[in-house]
Structure 1
Amino acid sequence: MCGIALIVSGIRIDLSALLLNFISPASQVEQEVVFSVDDIKTALLRRGPDSLGSKTVFVHPKISYSIEGKDVSVIEREEATKRDLGRNSEIFDCTLSTSEEHCRLDNGIGTKPFGELHFLGATLQLRGVNPIVQPLVDTSGNILIYNGEIFGGIHVSSDCNDADILMQYLGNCCHCSSTEHIRACSSPGKGQSSVHELLSRIKGPWALIYWQNSSNTLWWGRDAFGRRSLLVHWPTSEDPRLLLSSVSPFSPIHESSGLGNENEMGKLNFWEELPCGVYSISMRASSMERYMVGEVKKHEWTNPMLRELIKWERTSVEPKPEMSYDSNKKVPSGQQDIHSAHSFERQSESGFMQTTILTPSQAVLIALRESVMLRTSLNTIYQAVVFDCGQKAYSPVAVLFSGGLDSMILAALLDECLDPKYEIDLLNVSFDGQSAPDRISARAGVKELKKVAPLRRWKLVEIDADLLKLTSETKHVMSLINPAKTYMDLNIGIALWLAAQGDGWVYEGMNNSISADYQRVKYKSEARILLVGSGADEQCAGYGRHRTKYRHGSWLGLHDEMKLDMQRIWKRNLGRDDRCIADNGKEARFPFLDEDVIRILLDIPLWELADLDQPTGVGDKKILREVAQLLGLYEAAVLPKRAIQFGSRIARESNRKNFGSNRAANQASAGSVVIYGSSNNISR
């Protein structure tokens, strides 16, 4: 998938259930808009979709009349009025039209106000035999735009498209939203569920917008971990529209080198990351003022397992005194319970069930392998692409590759899951040529991968960049990271954006090796799926601040910091990363953030995941270092953690450019400095 957007205008939005002291702005005031439909279309088209579709519908009041609870015609009502029954009343309902002209027909409403819903759907099709164009509209008038993948919870066969299947399931949903009605509709024999109950079942990243015609209800949301971007503009007095979009359009303020006036600053704050969850608006007409109104509600996840993952509570946080914990041991003394070992059953050839006891690292390896398999299964659409291209070599899946622990594990697992006939592109970006730490470790990593998988054709794509020459590109990435605004966000965004382009150099020669007989040639990766290691550090204590928290707060302090990281990853990382990668017509997939992987890691005692009494490169992410050893990656298993902004050296170049030197940048805590409003000039 690729990107979605919705613009809602002409409807009075009530946010009082979400925001305290919220006052709904007037919805009918004509004002100059910050972003138009065409602006958002342009932003979505930049992502290189296979198709971009749009649909505009109008929601307007439909007035009928009731006498003693029975709907009657206007003539019958007039006759009843003449008889002075005193029991008649107006009923304001909603109806959907496909054109403004229909809205203004004399259908009992004259030229009364109406609401406008403009749906935009950009599709990067990776699954399904038949091409699709969004928005999808079914025979009942329901409308869906979907950006995501379904890896479980709802069955999607290899020749089907996620959005098509989801549309079918949504069409069978009831229009209930309360807990009582959910229970009624989900009772045995009913065969129906509510929209948000269905969405709670989905495993995988998603963002969606759905119009349920039977209930005049608009649904939208993003998955519980925010793996797909969805920005929101809540109505304000300056712009009373409700807007949803996968990405912010480019704003004229990004052309300027200074702050500008207050109106320009308002544009910078136009969007915010939509908090993870499912939301709805039930449209209705006001009987007093005869305008369209809708109250926004946020719905709780109904899947018990999902609710547990969101809480991110670990059963075993700190070893008990009687365990005689020794940091040099693999496990605390006497620890042999269900939290330190996992088991699975399989049927033997003789027909008997056999139980295999797994160590924690073995359980994590199995879960990660399954996660990578789900995210790299090549469906019919891929086979058609390869056949049409007629290429001898083709790389359908790439890895964001630093040569570090996380990317090495993903590369090795991808080799196990992907047909040997395919090449694997390893995308590595450097702002310091061959001297950047990530370039050095990437080259070493390729050598080790060739030892464990000698039959695979690995392509290390070396993407060289010069920050001083990226003026227009930097301004564009600033719009992609929006609403993030710090130099750290920008540095990471630029590195991810360039890496996802896959436009660099590879070595051609004997076995594609870096040796005396190689030749460095231009190469552009055509892979549309990019595996990214996000979530590994947050879940396995890979950051330096985790070690600091452990020193000051022991195990409980470490757990609280990791929990905070996971519960804010949607806002700090994933939305930004998804937007920067998707801008190149690529789809980021995060194997470490698979629901089953998260569950397995939470089941393991914290001291099994990390031993921060040990040195860097040994105790941090201990569980993943053991996984790497199981895969035969012994050199990668001892590599220290390096963030992409430091490993690629873009942070150093950014510090010199914007602060004059690394020393000045460190004194100013450059990474957390907000770009706009600082005394530094981003474009100088």
Structure 2
Amino acid sequence: MCGILFGASPASFQAPEKAQWEGLKTALNRRGPDAQKEVCLTEPAQLSDPAEPQLSLYGYATVLHLRGEQTVAQPLQDPNNNYIFFWNGEVFDSLQVNPHCNDTTVVFDALVAASNNSDPTVARRFFLDAIQRVGGPFAFVFYNCRTGDVWFSRDCLGRRSLLWRLPDSDHPSFWLSSVICTEGEPAPSGQWQEVSAHGIYRLDTRQWLSNPEKFSESLTCYRWSSLPATPTSLSGISGIEAVPQLQLPYQSAFIGILRQALRERVETIPSTLSLLGPDSTRVAVLFSGGVDCLCLAALLHQILPPGEPIDLINVAFENPRTTQLPASSQGPKHRGSFYHGPPYQMTLPSGEVYLFDEKEYHRLFDVPDRLTGRASFRALAEWAPQRTWRFVAVNVPYSQVEVQRTRITQLMQPAHTVMDWSIALALWFAATGEGYLEPWQTEHEVPISPTIQLQAYRSPAPVLLLGMGADEQLGGYSKHRDRFEAQGWVGLVEEMQGQIDRIAIRNLGRDDRIISDHGKESRFPFLSHRVVDFLCSVPVHYKADLRFQRGIGEKILLRYALRQLGLPLSACQQWKKAIQFGARTAKMTSGKDKGTDKI
């Protein structure tokens, strides 16, 4: 994973603004703690004519090392500085990358080879062919000095963040960045926007410098040659009879393809990252207990070595609107007035101590996702008792929400709605991996003592697996059921396609910015190209049969896959709760807020 910061401007403009640039660099350091590198070049727009206007290029990149034996600092440059490359991504489903090699160098070499043609038109065509053969989540910037082209894009599903700020009269430079949170400095002036995931962009710097007032005419977008498309054929749908008792068509194939996608996203993580101790782990699962994350955890068990633990990260928030519990201003914060045995003691990483009686602890943090999470954790522990499963309860008092409010609000920009905030809040705290192992899952009896110390634990896993993409493709949202009830199968198919089309702009860039702030990388097996292509080929009624009630009809293919894996029926019938309601980050201060309201 990488943090990208890139700028280009006429050399006569003194850029970048130092305070803003340094603030962005500091924010990017959190994304990539393992290596940092900065470049600055000034060159004529036409190499053959030094009298032509000059172009200033400046860039900064940070790296979280997750691929290959050696950390590769970015940006990459060829020996003659003809090409400069920034890469924030992982290669899956496509180019052959040796497990001991870094994928950044493989992609760079492929793009250089495609660009190394004296005819600019041919070089551009070869470049487009090469980048569209790269599968996996990514955002990149590539500068070709020979043609004066700056290429950049996000993958067609938008799984990595990339933002742009276009030049204007006050700021005549062009910027690209993974984030716009500036560590205490005000956000850079100008309009920052998410780079669309619908295509690959080329900035012709020579044309731009020849006519700086018409920047847009020097910018070209090439649409991806293939995008996910849900089939519209509705043949084969028969009348409703009963829930199938054994299996659905495509069920076994779905398990195999999803397992392979997960394997590719786990086995490439260097094993040296887990050598912190016998109980360390390379990967964690964001775990609400729903069928999406339950399936990922079950397949992960089949992939990882037997002795490697799996961390299941479950987040819960104190919501003052629903709990109405004032905190003491002095000494440890006591919650509750009726103590039934020793109080629970929870010490935050900041050193702040909270005391709860057992009843009040559960009243505060037994949010819907905590209850389903515990139930699914127990199902996994009974299904695979030989595996060490760690249920990491991330408990967030409201005081900590207030401490981090400004940072999270800045990180999620340009996303700016109440819904964006409530989702970003849950993901940011979950990605810390800082929680507790509750007494009921410890190996020993709870001792008789003045307090029960909740065992603090911080997951060392640098990779967090998330179930994004399952609801969109398998009819898991209430909008899917609403469309089906109003417009039948045609409406359901259209809603599925619309959800996939919107996922890049709606949440994946935002989620990447939030999770990566902790030096963690998010990975989405349900959004593997192979999984998406496979699900696009499956008839709609085998993915979601909304003639059946909640807990059965939506994501029916996934539920039957879990049964085939051997999970109990009760675990396979959980239904969708949006994370902001499952973790109780929604409506913390007012019940009147709407998700679409701006903050």
Q: Which residue in the other structure is 2:20 paired with?
A: 36
- How far off is 1:268 after superposition? 7.9
2-side partners of 1:178 and 1:601: how far apart?
40
Distance change (3 Å), C-alpha of 1:144 and 1:514: farther
The one of 128, 131, 136 equivalent to 1:196 is 128
Separation of aligned partners in 1, 2:76 and 2:205:
21
Q: TM-score if structure 1 supplies the norm length?
A: 0.74
Residue deviations 1:19-43, cap 9 Å, x none?
A: xxxxxxxxx5679959732121011
Q: Aligned to 2:96, which of 155, 158, 171?
A: 155
Provide the residue aligned with 2:346 in structure 1. none
Q: Is residue 129 from structure 1 mapped to residue 69 from structure 2 by the alignment?
A: yes
2:293 aligns with: 407
Contact 2:435–2:456 under 8 Å retained in 1: yes
Which of 300, 313, 318 does residue 230 from structure 2 map onto? 313
Q: Is the Cα contact below 8 Å between 1:531 and 1:590 reproduced in 2?
A: yes
Alignment of 1:298 onto 2:221: yes
* Residue deviations 1:581-632 (CA, integer Å, cap 9, x gap): 0010000000000011111111111111111121111111111111111122
Instruction: Classify the secondary structure of the residue corresponding to 2:192.
Output: coil
Give the AA of the match of 1:402: S
CA distance in 2, matches of 1:291, 1:490: 36
Aligned-pair CA distance for 1:324: 3.7
Q: Which amino acid aligns with 2:261?
A: S
Matches within 5 A, 1:97-496: 109=51, 113-141=53-81, 142-174=83-115, 181=122, 194-250=126-182, 267=189, 269-284=191-206, 295-302=218-225, 307=226, 309-310=227-228, 312-316=229-233, 318-319=234-235, 324-326=238-240, 328=242, 330=244, 359-379=249-269, 382-387=270-275, 389=276, 391-432=277-318, 433-496=364-427
Q: CA deviation at 1:238?
A: 3.2
Unmatched 5+ stretches in structure 2: 319-363
- The amino acid across from 2:255 in the alignment is L
Percentage of identical aligned residues: 33
Q: Distance in 2 between matches of 1:651 and 1:178?
A: 55
Question: Displacement of 1:267 after TM fit?
Answer: 4.4
CA distance in 2, matches of 1:409, 1:133: 35
In structure 2, the partner of 1:643 is 578
> Which residue identity is paired with 2:203?
I
Q: Please tell me whether residue 561 in structure 1 is matched to residue 482 in structure 2.
A: no
Q: Match for 2:264: what amino acid?
A: L
Matched residue type, 2:371: I
CA distance in 2, matches of 1:289, 1:553: 51
Aligned residue number for residue 593 of structure 1: 527
Measured against aligned partners, the alpha-carbon deviations of 1:145-195 in whole angstroms (never above 9, x if no partner) come to 10000013211010000101111111211367999847xx9xxxxxxx712
Residue 390 of structure 2: SS of its match in structure 1?
A: strand
1:313 to partner: Cα distance = 3.3
Q: For 1:643 and 1:175, how far apart are their aligned partners in 2?
A: 48
Larger Rg: 1
Q: Higher mean Cα deviation, 266-275 or 624-633?
A: 266-275
Q: Secondary structure at the match of 1:194?
A: helix
Q: Does 1:576 align with 2:493?
A: no
CA distance in 1 between counterparts of 2:129 and 2:543 reads 33
Give the 3 Å change call, closer, same or farther, for CA 516–230 of structure 1 in structure 2. Answer: same
- State the distance in 2 between where 1:499 and 1:627 align: 27
Change (3 A) 1:129 1:550: same
CA contact (8 A) 1:217 1:280 kept: yes
Amino acid at match of 1:563: Q
Q: Is the 8 A contact 2:161 2:194 kept in 1?
A: no
Could you say if the C-alpha distance between residues 286 and 160 of structure 1 is closer, same or farther in structure 2, counting changes exceeding 3 Å? closer
Q: What is the Cα deviation at residue 515 of structure 1?
A: 6.9
Cα displacement (A) at 1:393: 1.1
Work out the CA distance in 2 between the residues paired with 1:291 and 1:547: 49
Residue number in structure 2 paired with 1:338? none
Which of 24, 34, 57 lines up with 1:50 in the alignment?
34
Alignment partner, residue 548 of structure 1: 482
Paired residue type of 1:94: L
1:520 Cα shift? Answer: 3.0
Please tell me the residue identity of whatever aligns with 1:40.
L
Q: Which residue identity is paired with 1:248?
A: I
Please point out which of 529, 554, 570 is paired with 1:620. Answer: 554
Q: What do you get for the CA RMSD once the two structures are aligned?
A: 3.0
**What are the superposed Cα offsets for residues 329-371 of structure 1, whole Å, 9 maximum, x if unpaired?**
549xxxxxxxxx9xxxxxxxxxxxxxxxx93111111111011
**Cα offset, 1:138, TM superposition:** 1.4
Which residue of 2 is the match for residue 80 of structure 1? none
Q: Which amino acid aligns with 2:579?
A: I
Distance 1:215 1:329, change over 3 A: same
What is the alpha-carbon distance in structure 2 between the residues aligned to residue 328 and residue 286 of structure 1? 64
1:524 alignment partner in structure 2: 458
For 1:572 and 1:225, the matched residues in 2 are separated by 11
Against the structure 1 CA distance between its residues 483 and 288, is the aligned structure 2 distance closer, same or farther, given a 3 Å change threshold? closer
| Conserved 8 A contact 1:50-1:124 | yes
The farther-off stretch of 435-444 and 214-223 is 214-223
- Structure 1 residue 378, shift from structure 2 partner: 4.2
**2:2 maps to 1:2:** yes
Counterpart Cα distance in 1 of 2:484 and 2:212: 60
Relative to 1, partners in 2 of residues 1:253 and 1:214: Cα closer, same or farther, differing over 3 Å? Answer: closer
Gapped runs of 5+ residues in structure 1? 12-27, 62-92, 96-106, 186-192, 255-263, 332-340, 342-357, 676-684
Asked if 1:671 is matched to 2:561, the reply is no
How many residues are matched?
Answer: 546
